Amino acid sequence: MHGTLDPREFLRGATPSVDRSTLSRFGDEALELKALQASATASLAFGELVRRAEQHRLEKAKSDEVTRKLIANNTEAIRQLAMLEE
């Protein structure tokens, strides 16, 4: 029985025996786990980039709206000054 250990053997300091196919399987699973971790990290990073881009877009839209209002107010003030000068 590969990969198992009798509790009495463990108490004597023995370690479980593992054959090459078991090591290979765990090696493949470790590589799959690393790939999943890398994929999850990339997904989180991409999600953060999307979130930041959306936040930037909203801030820019707000800034553009403030700019439009300032221009409109200045245009109106200039129009009123021109009327007063007439």
pLDDT tier for residue 7 given thresholds of 50, 70 and 90:
low
Cβ atoms 3, 18 nearer than 8 A: yes
Cβ atoms 4, 19 nearer than 8 A: no
Domain boundaries in the chain?
A: 15-85
Show the tokens assigned to 59: 């801030």
pLDDT in tens, 22-74: 667 777 787 888 888 888 888 999 999 999 999 999 999 999 999 999 999 99
Reduced to 3 states (helix: H, G, I; strand: E, B; else coil), residue 73 is helix
